[in-house]
Amino acid sequence: MDRRAFLISSFGSFAALLPSSGWALPPPIKPKARVIVIGGGMGGATVAKYLRLWGDAVAVTLVERNARYVSSIMSSLVLTGQRTIADLTFGYDTLRNRYGVEVIIDDVSEVDPTRVAVKLTSGKQLTADRIVMAPGIDFENIPGLDDTRMPHAWKAGVQTDLLAKQLGGMPENGVVLLTVPKMPYRCPPGPYERACLIADWIKTTKPRAKLILLDTNPDITVEKDIFTRAFSGPYAKVIEYRNDVEIISADAAQLTLSTNAGPVRGDVINVIPPHRAGALVAASGLIAGSERFVPVDVLSYSSKAAPNIHVIGDSCATTQPKAGHIANQEAKVCADALVRIFAGGQPDPSPVTNSACYSTISRTEATWLNAVFQFDAATRSMVAVPKSLAASQNWTAENFKDMAKWFAALMADTFS
């Protein structure tokens, strides 16, 4: 399956279900079921939209703390000046006005899995038949880390602009430190492609500077051949790759990281800490012991600790990569399962998700990956279909153009 066919298969099958221009789906007057969605990112916005499309008698309330969503996908291009935060910002007016989703801009202070209830910071309380949680990621603590001096820029927005500003003010012979957290983390190729983008920018903007990539993992976690060739080829004099380097602590005043391999100093330090599920899901009792993410039943994404609570996107523990495209896909499986359940049925016993991923290897060239996942009854997990796995053999300008089309289609499917 080539990348264009995969792109069409990812979104084309849903296009026929979307209302035509000017058509609006009003909220149900007498809803048969109510769903509260917490979080308006790739997973939350998609599940809210498709619950309304597929379950016309389902009332949906989306609770999101921010009035607008900033996409982390493509955000590394902000660092090189090729995109702006405004280019990556999406609102909720279409969900509200076209699909009849009630959108509440507020923060959630408490989730009661037993009562299937939500308490908002404003004091308002909501109840429903089901709750879908899509809170994204939080970070594990690194002692001494100051994200104003050492921004992660892994949640796009203010942090992204801050890192871009720091790069622009770096000395001509400066050193950039970029860290790769232990797996699993959001967007597996992301830190490596960010390293390539910054290295390409360094070559023309600050040719005496360098980038040190500190990888917590034993080796490059994805697209190893591609990134190895990039690091040893066009960026051989710019990128220094070090694996098995664990960040122990940070000294923001001295711009130094303490690691298991000794201290490392940089002029610009981009620390991406280890990930864990959003704090709200842990506070709701959905994670036990040392687990970082929420165990779920992938037929419906219901929490194994609280079956009326569903968790999708980066906060849930599955065999699928943590990525915006997968969050969009998990949301559709969850929406379909809930509509079936509300109608007295059972979730689809054989759900399928698909994923496309592009990696920018330079400011004008990219690679791509394709994968399809299918439910495996023996392991009760999503397993990659072998024949679906495909990847580009090199980085090209054509792939870079296709990446822009893929991004536009993904965001339209989620927010339009």
Contact predicate 228/220, CB 8 Å: yes
Query: Rounded to whole angstroms, how far apart are CA atoms 322 and 336?
Result: 21
* pTM to 2 decimal places: 0.94
Map out the domains of the chain as residue ranges.
14-138+275-347, 144-270
Contacts of 160 (CB under 8 A, 6+ apart): 70, 75, 78, 79, 85, 153
Closest C-alpha to 415, from 23, 41, 64, 34: 41
Rounded Cα distance, 141 and 247, in Å? 11
Mean pLDDT of the chain: 94
pLDDT band at residue 4 using 50, 70 and 90 as cut-offs = very low
Query: Per residue in 97-132, is it b (16+ CB within 10 Å) or e — as a string?
Result: ebbbbbbbeeebeebbbeebebebeeeeebebbbbb
Q: Of the ranges 1-5, 25-29, 257-261, which one carries the lowest mean pLDDT score?
A: 1-5
- Of 81-90, 125-134, 286-295, 338-347, the poorest mean pLDDT is in 286-295
Architecture of domain 14-138+275-347: 3-Layer(bba) Sandwich (3.50)
- Count the Cβ atoms, other than its own, within 10 Å of residue 175: 18
- The CATH class of 144-270 is alpha beta
Which of 10-19, 260-269, 369-378 shows the lowest mean pLDDT across its residues?
A: 10-19
Contact 60, 35 (CB under 8 A): yes
Supply φ then ψ for residue 315, to 5 degrees: -80, -15
**Confidence band of 289 (pLDDT split at 50, 70, 90):** confident
How are beta strands 210-215 and 175-180 bridged, if at all?
parallel
Give mean pLDDT, residues 32-57. Answer: 97
State pLDDT tens for residues 333-361: 999 999 999 999 999 999 999 999 999 99
Q: Are strands 130-133 and 137-139 parallel, antiparallel or unpaired?
A: unpaired
Average pLDDT (33-55) is: 98
The sign one gets for the Cα dihedral 55, 57, 58, 62 is positive
Backbone phi, psi, residue 43, to 5°: -80, -50
Length in residues, the chain:
416
Instruction: Tell me how far apart the alpha carbons of residues 347 and 345 are, in angstroms, rounded to a whole number.
Output: 7
DSSP H helical ranges for 55-128:
76-79, 93-97
Give the pLDDT confidence score for residue 8 in this predicted structure.
44
Lowest mean pLDDT among 3-12, 236-245, 302-311: 3-12
- Rounded Cα distance, 319 and 325, in Å: 14
Q: Quote the pLDDT of residue 10.
A: 53
Residues in contact with 139: Cβ distance below 8 Å, sequence separation at least 6, in sequence order: 152, 154, 273, 274, 275, 276
The band of 290, judged by pLDDT with boundaries at 50, 70 and 90, is confident
Q: Are 373 and 320 in contact (CB under 8 A)?
A: yes
Q: Does residue 274 contact residue 185 with C-beta atoms inside 8 Å?
A: yes
3-state secondary structure 367-399: EEEEEEEEEECCCCEEEECHHHCEECCCCEHHH
| Helical residues (DSSP H) of 76-189, grouped into ranges | 76-79, 93-97, 158-168
Distance CA 222, CA 333 (A): 26
Axis-axis angle for helices 324-342, 397-415 (nearest 10): 30
Q: Same CATH fold, 144-270 and 14-138+275-347?
A: yes
Please give the Cα distance from 241 to 256 (Å, whole number).
Answer: 17
Of 20, 22, 17, the closest CA to residue 51 belongs to 17
Helix axes 397-415, 3-15, angle to 10 degrees: 20
The pLDDT score that the predictor gives to residue 222 is 95
Mean pLDDT value across residues 243-271: 98
Closest CA to 247 of 213, 281, 224, 279: 213
